[in-house]
Chain A
């Protein structure tokens, strides 16, 4: 569905994209992760034809982005809504711009209102909504016409639990219906939940791509114990359960806190930085 090959984008001396290649199949969710400045948003902007690349190609269903207007649902990283316009009016506007009429439009608005749990504030102006509610509205405007390609740029940034759950449910459902999804995030557990393929961007390139099992399983997590005298023990381990039992067995003082961390995105970034070093 989406194919990007060797994209290059320069901003003066900054190479925002430096040979960025990524393809996403219909029905696939690709979790695009990477540090701030890795080039994720720039990639989204090129695919949505907001900016032009300096090199490389993109095709969406075989067409260039210039010929794909209206076929891509984009939820940008930053909230971009009309403050004095209500949620329903937003959905109507974007639905109509996508060509939806009457019953189809009403149906799409109704479906998203339920799916993204927006019923309580559907007739309120967006200026008065919480950050999480605005996130849902923004995603809804991108989803309204069921586009075959979804670009969701940090759709859960600063979102509450309800927003996160609703968002993940809808994204899973749309991918199940056959949409190709690019989902950028800083939270690894979301990608586990979405059963997404993970693509790691760094310095304008994709440096690793694979399933959670391929990339993250087997990376060390961390077990952390704090004794009643504030003394702290941290152990990096690929087998947290065994390590925890071992540590507890050897503890000489009462323990006040136990924490077990699964590997995080930072652990993944660290492992990639080490493994591709000369």
Chain B
């Protein structure tokens, strides 16, 4: 007998089936992440080392040096982590598995959620670990408004995920992706004041900084750790805008697929 499980009727059943598929996709992607954790580990360990080494310099150079060294390196390495998202999505294209999933019963939205959820968790965890490390080891004062900080991290990770998905959808190889993420991340995050405090940069750079998402992330996180809710709002709105624009483009491109073309 041919067993076609068919679609069960009713919105509750539909939702249950949808969640079942998303869970299957997410656990597959979690497996893949766990079996290849190298990149993730290095983007957590490297900033930890740098925070330790650079702290005295920051403290001597600027006011609030401890906050700046923690948030600066957190932002910089969270931008590097775009490549984790990018590589994970691009890999589905190079393995040709994305098209296998597109043939399945799971609609595109489920594929995207199942794909990106584990990566999102990784990104949020990276930033949370770095912040906790900043408090425990580097001496960052424990933030008074923890939900505000958490909200800022969640939003920033979402923005990074959207940028990563967009890049993965438009590049033609892992090489292209790493050029864009490495050079782009270093440029954007240091221009945004993540490596050298903005106040020490030339005036033109301080103006140009505002074009970088890293700049807004830094403003948002620094405001969040000192509990300045009003200061969080503008950068949060700008980042949300960036995330939505990138996200929409990425979703449209990924939904359409590439057929046999599109890769080098």
Contact = CB atoms under 8 A, between A and B. Distances in A.
Interface in B222-249: none
Q: What are the 6 tightest A-B residue pairs by CB atom distance, in nearest-first order?
A: A70-B105, A80-B96, A96-B24, A99-B5, A97-B104, A84-B35
A145 B103 contact: no
A76 B103 CA distance: 11
Interface in A132-180: 141, 145-148, 177-179
A93 B103 contact: no
Given A48-B103, A69-B103, A96-B24, A81 B97 contact: yes
Interface stretch (B25-33, B126-134, B157-165): B25-33
B2 A177 contact: yes
A212 interface: no
A83 interface: yes
A89 B5 contact: no
Contacts of B2: 146-148, 177-179
A79 B107 CA distance: 22
A97 B32 contact: no
Contacts of A81: 95, 97
Interface of A: 45, 48-51, 69-72, 74, 76, 78-85, 89, 92-94, 96-101, 104, 141, 145-148, 177-179
A29 to B, nearest CB: 15
Interface string B1-27: 111111000000000010011011100
Interface of B: 1-6, 17, 20-21, 23-25, 28, 31-32, 35-36, 95-97, 99-107, 257, 259
A97 B106 contact: yes
A176 to B, nearest CB: 11
B31 A85 contact: yes
A145 B28 contact: no
Given A50-B99, A70-B104, A97 B25 contact: yes
Nearest to A73: B103
Nearest to A75: B100
A69 B32 contact: no
B4 A145 contact: yes
B104 A45 contact: no
Among B31, B96, B104, B259, which residue has the most Cβ atoms of chain A within 10 A?
B104
Contact of A89 (B31, B103, B106, B259): B31
A79 B96 CA distance: 8
B4 A71 contact: yes
B95 to A, nearest CB: 6
B36 A97 contact: no
B103 A72 contact: yes
Given A50-B103, A80-B100, A82-B95, A93 B3 contact: no
A141 B99 CA distance: 13
Contacts of B96: 76, 78-80
A84 B31 CA distance: 8
26 contacts: A45-B259, A50-B103, A50-B257, A69-B107, A70-B105, A74-B100, A79-B96, A80-B96, A81-B95, A84-B32, A84-B35, A93-B25, A93-B28, A96-B23, A97-B106, A98-B5, A99-B21, A101-B20, A104-B3, A145-B3, A146-B1, A146-B2, A146-B3, A146-B4, A178-B2, A179-B2
